[in-house]
Structure 1
Amino acid sequence: MPSPAQLFNGRYLFVSIVGLSLVTALLVWIGSDLSSESTEDAYVQGNVVQVTSQVGGTVIGIEADTTDSVEPGRVVVRLNPVDAEIRYKHAEAALGRATRQTRSQYLQVQQLNAEVDQRRNDLNKATADLARRQQLASSGAVSGEEINHAEVIVQNAHAALDAAHQALAQRRALVDGTQLNNHPEVMAAAADLRDAYIALMRTNISAPVEGTVTQRSVQAGQHINPGVSLMSVVPLNTLWVNANFKESQLEHLRVGQPATLTSDVYGSSVEYHGTIVGLDAGTGSAFSLLPAQNATGNWIKVTQRIPVRIALEPAELGRHPLRIGLTMHAKIDTQDRSGSQVSAGMILDPSYETHVFDQEMHDADQRVVQVIRANDGTKDGNNAAFADR
């Protein structure tokens, strides 16, 4: 049986170990608390991309509804294309007519070139005839009246040649320095066809980005105007968090510091990792519709908060999707304070652009080329034969 002294020593050792552990844990907690900042006032944010029409029309079909996932370029709304098809057919016919009329202008230049050569030959012949008659005049073989007639013929030939030159110059003025595909009349008709073709293609309204459809307001049979929001698409793979820290917490926050976040949706077992990409330029109250006017006698200090933007890891969002507006618990590791409190540049994120409309002009140009080739009168569509001569 242990003696009282041994019991006292054992209890003293146990109490000492427990006390030392508590002190160590307290110091660790204080140290970690001094090197981090946290807030519960944090919310998931993201891009809400509106789907709008670039042309007016009547809705005849809705291909996507709220909660549907869409890819870039997928048709989500269809408009009645009848009016656009009629305008396109008119523009197509106008380009074909302009092409054929311009072809005739080039052919008329060739015809007038030949006529100038003919008039020049007539003048040369009349001049030679007059010279022969003048040689025979001294012998009396040719009368003076016949010589006068020959001189009139030469004058008429000169006048005819001048008229042919003027007609040629007038016709050449319409085609100088051009070919069939870049003639002003053809280019004007081609521009109208491009406009009509693109307007027809835009009766199919596509999703500009990948994401989830929300806020669908368009209905079948509704007549819409350009620019009206029909629905929205939210890319759930490019979300971020706006954590609103108190002004007293901003001293050690820097761009580039790592953050750990949790959401009530998945609980503390799922952690998200992010990085501070910037601190907002002002408090929420400063940018409100009616900012506070503090230059009054009854002033009470209210601690302000600054939104801090935290970028999330796309891979983690893919495994555990979030939604805009969800609350988050954000904790920032502030040990590394070498960064800046102001962003040094702009964020170049591909999620802020769309390539859905890149092909519009290319497809319209291809259609213009097809119409010109169908009306230029050449087998292979080569218009070099109509170049100005």
Structure 2
Amino acid sequence: MAETQQSNTESQPKGAGKPQKERSWIRMAIFGVLLGVGVVWGGMRLIRSFSYVETDNAQITGNIYPVIPRVPGKVVEVLAEDNQTVKKGDILVRIDTSDYQIRRDMAEAQLLRARAAVSAAQAEIVAAGATQRKLGADLRRSRNLQQQDVISRAELDAATAGATASSAQHAAAGDNYKAALAQAKLAEAELKNAELQLSWATITAPADGKISKKSVQPGQQVAPGQQLIAIVGSGDLWVVANFKETQLEHMRPGQKVIVRVDAFPGKEIDGHVDSISAGTGAQFTLLPPDNASGNFVKVTQRVPVKIVFDKKPELPLAAGMNVIVEVKVK
């Protein structure tokens, strides 16, 4: 038995345990490196946690402009396409203008009639004024003649009555002229209103941006207040980050912010805190919590913080994208 063990020992080559020791040292070295990296990384994160506050409860937000008709009618043409970039004033939708053109033509005819009435009233004033001046002169002559007993008292009374009637007619003509002017102004207003409604039948983009939601097709009957298209403003995107209330102790407007977009890993965008909301997000829900009723459960609230970019990002950002933000508070 001893001879067998001795022969096995002798059969093993010299240095057979050396690779095992080398592998053990390599594993220890790798473990040491990883441990060192972990300690350094953890230390950096710990130090960073004292200077930055972070949240992933944040999204890119932008101004969304609704495209809403101001007059009812049948859609005859839709010039907008999904995800199309548009400029302010670009024509998006056309509504049938037949009824509105007829109303405008009727308003124009009414205005012409009103202006003709004004001209007639002016002529009436001129005629009444001439008659008034003539009968007034006749009355003065009649008085002189009556004092000289050339005419009778009855003839003087007739001249007086004629002069008085002419004065009343002149005043009435003036009133008719004022009424005709009022009707003309009303007709002008009705024409402007008809032209305005006709112009509203052509719906244009309210701002520069990209069409993100289109729910209108030719042949559709639309009504005022009905949203047809939504346009996301192209030049005014920002971030709304919902920080815990416990993270706001040292946060102030103007502080530097680093924004990382989930859609573009490894990319960072510089920004700064623009403003902090005056209320928590829960206060603006449909049914805000009422802690005075029922059993009270304390829950950490989140406060919206508006963050704007220092310059327009080159990345193709879209409203609603998720982001991670870090605010340098110290």
In the superposition, the TM-score normalised over structure 1's length comes to 0.69
Alignment of 1:1-389 (within 5 A): 29-130=45-146, 134=150, 150-175=152-177, 183-268=181-266, 270-291=267-288, 302-316=299-313, 319-335=314-330
Report the RMSD for the aligned CA atoms in angstroms.
Answer: 2.9
**Alpha-carbon offset, residue 292 of structure 1:** 5.7
CA distance in 1, matches of 2:36, 2:83: 56
Compared CA separation, residues 122 and 287, structure 1 to 2 (3 A): closer
Counterpart contact for 1:236–1:322, Cα < 8 Å? no
Residue 281 of structure 2 aligns with an amino acid whose one-letter code is G
Counterpart contact for 1:50–1:230, Cα < 8 Å? yes
Counterpart contact for 1:51–1:230, Cα < 8 Å? yes
CA distance in 2, matches of 1:233, 1:22: 47
Which is higher, the Rg of structure 1 or of structure 2? 2
Look up the match of 1:359.
none
Compared CA separation, residues 297 and 196, structure 1 to 2 (3 A): closer
Residue aligned with 1:85, SS: helix
CA distance in 2, matches of 1:221, 1:23: 68
Look up the match of 2:20.
none
| 1:106-156 alpha-carbon deviations (Å, 9 max, x no partner) | 22111111111221233344445555665xxxxxxxxxxxx5xx4433322
CA distance in 2, matches of 1:189, 1:70: 37
Structure 1: runs of 5 or more not aligned: 1-17, 135-146, 336-389
Look up the match of 1:9.
none
Residue 322 of structure 2 aligns with an amino acid whose one-letter code is T
Compared CA separation, residues 131 and 231, structure 1 to 2 (3 A): same
Residue 173 of structure 2 aligns with an amino acid whose one-letter code is R
Look up the match of 2:10.
none
Counterpart contact for 1:236–1:321, Cα < 8 Å? no
Counterpart contact for 1:238–1:314, Cα < 8 Å? no
| 1:61-88 alpha-carbon deviations (Å, 9 max, x no partner) | 1111210111111111110001111111
**Alpha-carbon offset, residue 293 of structure 1:** 6.9
Q: Percent of counterpart pairs with the same letter?
A: 30
CA distance in 1, matches of 2:209, 2:130: 67
CA distance in 1, matches of 2:66, 2:37: 57
**Alpha-carbon offset, residue 236 of structure 1:** 2.7
Compared CA separation, residues 281 and 128, structure 1 to 2 (3 A): closer
Residue aligned with 1:236, SS: strand
CA distance in 1, matches of 2:144, 2:295: 114
CA distance in 1, matches of 2:229, 2:309: 26
**Alpha-carbon offset, residue 296 of structure 1:** 5.8
**Alpha-carbon offset, residue 29 of structure 1:** 4.6
Residue 204 of structure 1 aligns with an amino acid whose one-letter code is T
| 1:235-260 alpha-carbon deviations (Å, 9 max, x no partner) | 13211111122233222221221101
Structure 2: runs of 5 or more not aligned: 1-32
- Higher mean displacement: 283-292 or 194-203: 283-292
**Alpha-carbon offset, residue 278 of structure 1:** 2.0
**Alpha-carbon offset, residue 286 of structure 1:** 4.3
Residue aligned with 1:93, SS: helix
In the superposition, the TM-score normalised over structure 2's length comes to 0.80
Residue 197 of structure 2 aligns with an amino acid whose one-letter code is A
Look up the match of 2:30.
none
CA distance in 1, matches of 2:299, 2:147: 115
Aligned length: 296
Residue aligned with 2:235, SS: coil
CA distance in 2, matches of 1:235, 1:102: 50
Residue aligned with 1:198, SS: helix
CA distance in 2, matches of 1:228, 1:23: 60
Counterpart contact for 1:94–1:189, Cα < 8 Å? yes
Compared CA separation, residues 21 and 106, structure 1 to 2 (3 A): same
Residue aligned with 2:254, SS: coil
Residue aligned with 1:256, SS: coil
Counterpart contact for 1:65–1:214, Cα < 8 Å? no
Compare the two structures and name the one with the higher strand fraction: 2
Compared CA separation, residues 273 and 101, structure 1 to 2 (3 A): same
CA distance in 2, matches of 1:229, 1:98: 39
CA distance in 1, matches of 2:326, 2:288: 29
CA distance in 2, matches of 1:174, 1:78: 43
